[in-house]
Structure 1
Amino acid sequence: MNVLLIGGVAAGTKAAAKLKRENRDMDVTILTKDRDISYAGCALPYYVGGEVESRDQLIVNTPEKYAALTGVRVLTGREAFSLDAKGKKVQVKNLEDGSSESYGYDALVIATGASSIVPKMNGAALKGVFKLRMPDDAIDMRRYLQESGAGKAVVVGGGFIGLETAENLKAQGLQVTVLDAAPQIIPGVLDPEMAVYAKRHLQKNGIRVFTGVMVEELLGDSRVTAVKSSAGTFPADLVVMSIGIRPNTAWLQDSGLEMEKGTILTDGELRTNLPDVYAAGDCAMVTNRITGKRQWSPMGSSANLEGRMLAQVLAGEKKNYPGVLGTGVVKLPGLNCGRTGLTEKAARDEGYDVETVLAVTDDKAHYYPGAANFVTKLIADRKSHKLLGMQVFGPGTVDKMVDIAVTGISMGAVLEDFDQMDYSYAPPFSTAIHPFVQAVYMLENKLDGTMVSMTPAEYLAGAADEFRVVDASTAPQIPGAVYVKLEEVNGPVDGLGQEEKLLLVCAKGKRAYFLQNRLKHYGYTNTVVLEGSTFFNDVKVKGVKATVSPEDITRVKGLGFLHDKNTADRFNARVITRNGKITADEMQAITEGAKKFGNGEVTMTSRLTMEIQSVPYENIEPLREFLMDAGLETGGTGSKVRPVVSCKGTTCQYGLIDTFAISEEIHERFYKGYHDVKLPHKFKIAVGGCPNNCVKPDLNDLGVIGQRIPEIDMEKCRGCKKCQIVENCPIKIAKLENGKLSIDPEACNHCGRCVGKCPFHAVTSYTNGYRIYIGGRWGKWVAKGRYLDKVFTDKEEMMDVIEKAILLFREQGITGERFSDTIARLGFENVQEQLLSEELLNRKEENIKAEKHLTGGATC
């Protein structure tokens, strides 16, 4: 049997390999347009972000390796352009020499996949505009990032790939904006209130998101500089077009294949309407496993499953593809998102009598280090209790939650089937009652009336407008709400009417439910629990000015907004000026931002950053967006590398090095490059242009000081009675000994003031370099840094030592201690030895990936 497969990424290679395992005598040939086969398309954003380091890691198999491993014949550089179903032939163009070739078949598998949609608009061909579908797309984008010095990126499209790309661009230190034409991100995949939560999370983590925005054109001469849209113009050094994909089926338009919106229609065996022609993967239309209706689900997972099953069908086995659930999972900054099955809207559209619940649960034992939460939405049929879909957020393993739902839905499970499931439990992994089962219990309670609740979607729509808010938290947290301490409710509560509409709210929903249970017992008939409570919802009492929670104060502090403790909701915004140097345009933006979003005042900090004073909490995100448009950012707090400070360097009469340029380079490499790396405490770096130490490099965790090392030409020294070198030495260590000039190299601070002062040119030559101080600090406890014995004359070697110091602090520091404490504990000589060797750099990857210093020690 001669099987011809067109396309060699997921479905094609999986089907071909399985065919040869099923029947080694089959003649199996793959034709593919590209030079790469079986590549990891889902890994492309992570290659851009550096998580996947090399191109080779993207390629699962080369054609040669795959052919040797499987016995499949692989021909690359072949583009199919015509199908003759009656003659059982495919016409192909050889892309290497332009010739036409014809290939016959007994069975044909079309697995041509899909390609990125690149809209026809002005500027789409500019440099710096990318799609992300093939390995070379990711390679080109990462190379462009490295070579162009791009600082701002716009991602057009808020789907899975767009958001993964946004996260990875942010990890590379770019300011990232996501634009989507739909009214929400991840449209059709998440329900609207879930998308709002994800959008809010992205914005809190520094990624701007604008929905309902149409992109009109890309601006720039040779390189892209901005994106013009219906919401205004967004500056951009790099643009990623991620607005969707379309099946690669244009070549089949006149073949007689039945297609719908470019996808090939298939049956349960993945047959098309043409004899002996099959389709699988991103080009094929399959069915929804729940509804049985047609559904296009271009996912790498389903493509592999389809390819494997199709091979079994071709080998003579009785198999039927049951369809897809649209299962997906995506990694966002600090938050993972998963889903499967029907959305609430899709379930209603299918005629189901829908009930939902949103549950906030622990993701593992609450006392175990690293414990966090799952936010789980379950969708079920009210009459049959059949599980129809789920969506989940959490910083941890949301995939295990999704996979439980996939298994249940696929087996037609009803909610009660999960009640006594014997899921695995140990404190590092889960809770005693599994978090999925806890969510099921909540939905069962809601269905049988044990719990009366309001969904976040209903709350957003204004369903709580007529309700009085009751705060059931462990301590009052909702301004204007009636606070009721659950533990003290042993009868009717003073001030609460038993017929009054009461919205019960707490941190996550559990205490609110317990309170409802008690109040029902004491005759309260109109209580409603807000699902997700304040963890998920932005709960406010009408007419009451909200205070800011301690959690939010901590969160925005990480964004560079420090709470003014004399106020309830005012913050001072630290604007990073890199090294104290800003342009006139940036200054104008800062002052305009102060007027528009603060009280109009700007102060300077001792670290040469600027603070916009008295910014109301609700103005924080608008101010950040305003500053981003001007190329500015806020931040510089927490247990991390801080923004670098420098003196004026060579613009000062004594400056020996260009401190602005060096500090800018240090800022990009270590403040931005290490922005998400947690340290035991803050790590401050200062760059001084000479030994005058104007910016106190020796009082910082690490300091760099410009050096000019004089070289004495003894043959030119005349031993003058009044030596100009001796006279001009500011620290008086130059001396005449036995009629000749002498400068003690151990005592010289290398200020360079003596160079050129000898009229007989005895001191005209010198070597420029850098001295590195480590372990300084200023504050409640002062420590003067000590310099390394070596004066570094190579800038790259000096930069490597800075990186080694940061890595040593992360690896060997104790959470809460400053670098000076670490050095004192380890010993200066030990630290110096490590900084002058390469071992710390050799362990860099392992060090960075380790979960260390989860709390950190910085307080400001």
Structure 2
Amino acid sequence: MKVAVIGCTHAGTAAISNILAMYPEAQIDVFEKNDNVSFLSCGIALYVGGVVKDAAGLFYASVDQFKKQGVRMHMRHEVTLCDTQNKQVQAKDLRTGVVKNYTFDKLIITTGSWPITPPIPGRELDNVLLCKNFDHAKEIIRRAESAQKVVVVGAGYIGVELVEAFEEGGKEVTLIDSESRILNRYLDEAFTTPVEETFVQRGITLALDQTVSAFAGEGHVEKVITNKGEYDADLVVMCIGFRPNTGIVKGQVDMLDNGAIIVDRYMQTSVQDVYAAGDCCAAPYNPTQQAAYIPLATNAVRMGTLVAQNLVRPVLPHPGTQGTSGLKIYQHNIASTGLTETAAQLAGLAVSSAYLEDNYRPEFMPDNSVIQIKIVYENTTHRVLGAQVISDTDFTQAINTLSVAIANGMTIEQLALTDFFFQPHYNKPWNFINQVALNAMTNEAKQVQGRESVLV
């Protein structure tokens, strides 16, 4: 069995590792534009901030490791043509310019994503950088050495992590985003406000609800111009978001409007023997029960593993994702899963929410900490659709529990009565997950009573 793999970050690495274990006789050709595999881009901010000293720790697999296992690694090779019907790819060696054709029995598309780069005037100026791969990380560190005024464009996970890293490195930092709140896609307002307040206390300039219209400077960026103001800068990092990197198979396989490849539960595309995984494709999203584009490393490794499992015949379906993620910014430990209340409403779902802010363990304990937790649930079914948590103490693992609840279609009533242990060192007799679900039940009971009183 000849297997061609295009791209080798998380999904590609997972697919290859599992194919080697399951089908050791397979002939695997891997085509990768970079000179490395399995780069953990979520560690870029830690690398930029000096928390990670050795860049080797940002990789969990190596080219040499795969070569020793018999994989034909075509590094620094760009696939210039992919013919899914005739089962062949054409790849160019970026070092020599030589172009060759390769045939396959099975094709795995794990081409990942690429940063969104709007056509902003001045984007070609020196020191306007992207943040995605290892080369980007090295370049950001190099340029930051001589920079003092740093502007980060985009207040998603990578953007806010970079803001923290630059500020702790002694830089003057401005964060620009077109939304009115940071982390808008992941958290509702009660959970973003504490982080914004910390940013302001740290001297970070928040330029929110603003759109970048131009970069200005003589050869080198000196200013970022928005629809509401101007900000001095000698380094700009663009973190607006990501788009699927799927141009190589456009028009050959079914895609969403944004270019994300549509796959079935067994990771097969609309073309037989062609599979896709990771940031290049859509995943089944349990809260909405529809396909959604959720570029996360956790999704990628699971999808890559599933490709290997289903490569010969469909045996193991994708269980769906909740888009579960976590983040640490300064003292704030944050995690979310599923839909925020805002996102649920945008998806056309009728939802309600319950919120809890409380000490996490009994008040008689000498040390304590406040936890904020919120759940979002569907009005008609009471099915839990999302959850968020923030605290100065690490309670992020609670979101993994709530992710399981969403995946299994649990209701607020079931969640309220789920059996969790009690020990004063760790929690209260009613665990905070139980309690926020009980709050939701109380809200529902009040609404029923209100309707009944109107009828009377």
Q: TM-score, normalised by structure 1?
A: 0.50
Deviations along 1:493-515, whole A, 9 cap, x unmatched?
xxxxxxxxxxxxxxxxxxxxxxx
CA positional deviation for 1:424: 4.3
Which amino acid is 2:175 matched to?
V
> 1:288, 1:324 within 8 Å by CA — same for their partners in 2?
yes
1:294 aligns with 2:291: yes
Which amino acid is 1:47 matched to?
Y
1:368–1:169 Cα change, 3 Å: farther
1:11 aligns with 2:7: no
Partner of residue 263 from structure 1, selected from 252, 260, 264: 260
Q: Distance in 2 between matches of 1:86 and 1:350?
A: 36
Q: Distance in 1 between matches of 2:365 and 2:135?
A: 43
> 2:13, 2:61 within 8 Å by CA — same for their partners in 1?
no
1:390 matched residue in structure 2: 387
Q: Distance in 2 between matches of 1:390 and 1:79?
A: 41
Q: Distance in 1 between matches of 2:308 and 2:426?
A: 37
CA positional deviation for 1:366: 5.1
Q: Distance in 2 between matches of 1:232 and 1:351?
A: 35
> 1:93, 1:99 within 8 Å by CA — same for their partners in 2?
yes
Deviations along 1:206-256, whole A, 9 cap, x unmatched?
322222101122222233222111121111222111111122112223545
CA positional deviation for 1:419: 3.1
Determine helix, strand or coil for the equivalent of 2:279: helix
> 1:425, 1:432 within 8 Å by CA — same for their partners in 2?
yes
Deviations along 1:613-658, whole A, 9 cap, x unmatched?
xxxxxxxxxxxxxxxxxxxxxxxxxxxxxxxxxxxxxxxxxxxxxx
2:164 matched residue in structure 1: 167
> 2:32, 2:77 within 8 Å by CA — same for their partners in 1?
yes
1:58 matched residue in structure 2: 58
Deviations along 1:780-826, whole A, 9 cap, x unmatched?
xxxxxxxxxxxxxxxxxxxxxxxxxxxxxxxxxxxxxxxxxxxxxxx
> 2:2, 2:26 within 8 Å by CA — same for their partners in 1?
yes
1:284 matched residue in structure 2: 281
Partner of residue 369 from structure 2, selected from 356, 369, 372: 372
CA positional deviation for 1:160: 0.9
CA positional deviation for 1:197: 4.6
2:126 matched residue in structure 1: 127
1:353–1:78 Cα change, 3 Å: same
Within 5 A, what are the aligned runs for 1:425-824? 425-449=422-446
Q: Distance in 2 between matches of 1:307 and 1:442?
A: 39
Deviations along 1:78-131, whole A, 9 cap, x unmatched?
111211122100111111111111111111010000111233333323333221
Q: Distance in 2 between matches of 1:382 and 1:259?
A: 29
1:299–1:91 Cα change, 3 Å: same
1:347–1:229 Cα change, 3 Å: closer
1:36 matched residue in structure 2: 36
Q: Distance in 2 between matches of 1:370 and 1:202?
A: 26
CA positional deviation for 1:390: 1.0
Determine helix, strand or coil for the equivalent of 1:265: coil
Which amino acid is 1:84 matched to?
D
Deviations along 1:404-458, whole A, 9 cap, x unmatched?
11011111111222334333454454344322122112222222129999xxxxx
Which amino acid is 2:15 matched to?
A
1:207 aligns with 2:204: yes
Q: Distance in 2 between matches of 1:14 and 1:269?
A: 15
Which amino acid is 1:290 matched to?
P
Higher mean Cα deviation, 216-225 or 255-264? 255-264
Deviations along 1:172-191, whole A, 9 cap, x unmatched?
12222111012332233323
1:365–1:54 Cα change, 3 Å: farther
> 1:17, 1:72 within 8 Å by CA — same for their partners in 2?
no
Partner of residue 238 from structure 1, selected from 226, 235, 238: 235
Which amino acid is 2:216 matched to?
L
1:205–1:370 Cα change, 3 Å: farther
Which amino acid is 1:91 matched to?
Q
CA positional deviation for 1:205: 3.7
Deviations along 1:20-52, whole A, 9 cap, x unmatched?
111212222221111010111110111001111
Which amino acid is 1:163 matched to?
V
> 1:116, 1:246 within 8 Å by CA — same for their partners in 2?
yes
Within 5 A, what are the aligned runs for 1:411-430? 411-430=408-427
2:355 matched residue in structure 1: 358
Which amino acid is 1:335 matched to?
H
> 1:19, 1:315 within 8 Å by CA — same for their partners in 2?
no
1:431–1:48 Cα change, 3 Å: farther
Deviations along 1:324-369, whole A, 9 cap, x unmatched?
2222222222212211112223434555442212210223455667
> 1:218, 1:224 within 8 Å by CA — same for their partners in 2?
yes
Deviations along 1:122-167, whole A, 9 cap, x unmatched?
3323333221101121122122223x1x322111001111111111
Q: Distance in 1 between matches of 2:200 and 2:66?
A: 43
Determine helix, strand or coil for the equivalent of 1:19: helix
Within 5 A, what are the aligned runs for 1:832-843? none
1:154 matched residue in structure 2: 151
Q: How many residues align?
A: 451
Q: Which is greater in Rg?
A: 1
Q: Distance in 1 between matches of 2:216 and 2:449?
A: 53
1:434–1:87 Cα change, 3 Å: same
Which amino acid is 1:372 matched to?
S
> 1:446, 1:452 within 8 Å by CA — same for their partners in 2?
no
> What value does the CA root-mean-square deviation take over the aligned residues?
2.4
1:387–1:258 Cα change, 3 Å: closer
Determine helix, strand or coil for the equivalent of 2:283: strand
Which amino acid is 2:142 matched to?
R
1:174–1:420 Cα change, 3 Å: same
Which 5+ residue runs of structure 1 have no aligned equivalent?
454-524, 526-860
Q: TM-score, normalised by structure 2?
A: 0.92
1:745 matched residue in structure 2: none
Partner of residue 218 from structure 1, selected from 210, 215, 220: 215
> 1:258, 1:272 within 8 Å by CA — same for their partners in 2?
no
1:201–1:448 Cα change, 3 Å: farther
Which amino acid is 1:291 matched to?
T
Q: Distance in 2 between matches of 1:29 and 1:230?
A: 48
2:20 matched residue in structure 1: 20
Which amino acid is 1:277 matched to?
V
Which amino acid is 1:16 matched to?
I
Q: Distance in 2 between matches of 1:216 and 1:258?
A: 31
Determine helix, strand or coil for the equivalent of 2:282: strand
Which amino acid is 1:395 matched to?
D
1:340 matched residue in structure 2: 337
CA positional deviation for 1:62: 2.1
> 1:5, 1:31 within 8 Å by CA — same for their partners in 2?
yes
Determine helix, strand or coil for the equivalent of 2:261: strand
1:399 aligns with 2:396: yes
> 2:90, 2:102 within 8 Å by CA — same for their partners in 1?
yes
Q: Distance in 2 between matches of 1:348 and 1:118?
A: 28
1:382–1:260 Cα change, 3 Å: closer
Determine helix, strand or coil for the equivalent of 2:393: coil
Percent identity over the alignment is: 28
Q: Distance in 1 between matches of 2:169 and 2:273?
A: 49
Q: Distance in 2 between matches of 1:175 and 1:168?
A: 11
> 1:205, 1:333 within 8 Å by CA — same for their partners in 2?
no
> 1:362, 1:435 within 8 Å by CA — same for their partners in 2?
no
> 2:128, 2:238 within 8 Å by CA — same for their partners in 1?
yes
CA positional deviation for 1:4: 1.0
Determine helix, strand or coil for the equivalent of 2:310: helix
Question: Higher relative CO (CA 8 A, sep ≥ 6), structure 1 or 2?
Answer: 2
1:535 matched residue in structure 2: none
CA positional deviation for 1:19: 1.1
1:4–1:117 Cα change, 3 Å: same
